[in-house]
Amino acid sequence: MKPVIYGLSGLALTADERAFYREADPAGYILFKRNVATRPQLLALTSELRALSGRDYVPILIDQEGGRVARMGPPEWPAFPAGPAFDALYDVAPMSAIEAARANAQAIALMLAEVGINVDCLPLLDVCQPDTTPAIATRALGSEPMRVAAMGRAIIDGLRRGSVVGVVKHMPGHGRAIVDTHYHLPTVTASDAELEIDLEPFRALNAAPMGMTSHIVFQAWDADRPATLSPIIVNEIIRGRIGFDGLLMTDDIDMKALSGTAGEKAAGALAAGCDLVLDCWGRMDEMAEIANLTGEMSAVSRARLDRAMATIAGVAPEGDMAALIAKRDSLLAAA
């Protein structure tokens, strides 16, 4: 099995994709708007991916956060609010905000499970600063670490109730970036002591089944390499000080924050200690290069993958989506 999560080019697998994925045997797949149209289409696609892999619990990921980051949306599926809505409620009713976040995540999970998606890249545990890039600030759960952790924990719980695995992101923190990693490489100059704030939510949720790195240079820890490519940050900060021993994947390896070819970036991330590389765009030449430049998934990483997916093994999705949405909306109305 290759330590890669690949994207797909369209609404159905092409013959070339089918042959390539069968040969490469990637650890999982990730879906975007270009892969999503209707419930029957999406269920057929995820069913084929599952059959192709031969694994009942092959990870099939999506970024379904709510707000601006939503791959499934109206009119086929309902819209969901983003993190700041729950942060605003927390100001007036903390327990209501936690319960609203849980209900919202459970409703999202029911929507995903219905079409065969079993991993959601949520929650964000990034602690916002006054100058955090809008790419994160418009999605995050706030600027106070423990409230971020409390709502993040509720989101992971809500997702699991709907038989979906959550992914905490973006380790070891994206809140101090003032530029968007899709286009630029941020450099954070905060001291080691200051960065304790960023680590707090991740440390509180260090038993999460899956996590995602950030493409950010932290001068206090490694002035030469972004977190995704830094053995120091992966091993000493994420695995060490945070204490995270779950499955660690990269953020999208195609982001412009990282330099080099897709295969070079993938090999670098794995060498740094990441378990999986996230390659989102379904470009056959890049996927082939990654496959050629990476070996088989290590036994340690495979064990982490199996352990993460086991958290939903045998978990039947519970709850009623309409009732959960109604509960969330009634709670959010207090803000």
Active site residues: 182, 251
Beta bridge partners of 124: 169
- Burial (CB < 10 A; 0-12, 13-18, 19+), residue 229, is buried
Copy the structure tokens of residue 140: 């995050």
Question: Closest Cα to residue 115, out of 21, 53, 31?
Answer: 31
Kind of pairing, strands 69-70 and 64-66?
A: antiparallel
Q: Facing residues of 6 across strands? A: 29, 279
Dist CA 54 CA 41 (whole Å)? 20
Q: Is the dihedral of CA 175, 181, 184, 189 positive or negative?
A: positive
Separation CA 211–CA 209 (nearest Å): 7
Mapping DSSP to helix (H, G, I), strand (E, B) and coil, where does residue 169 land? strand
Question: Which residues are bridge partners to 61 per DSSP?
Answer: 30, 119
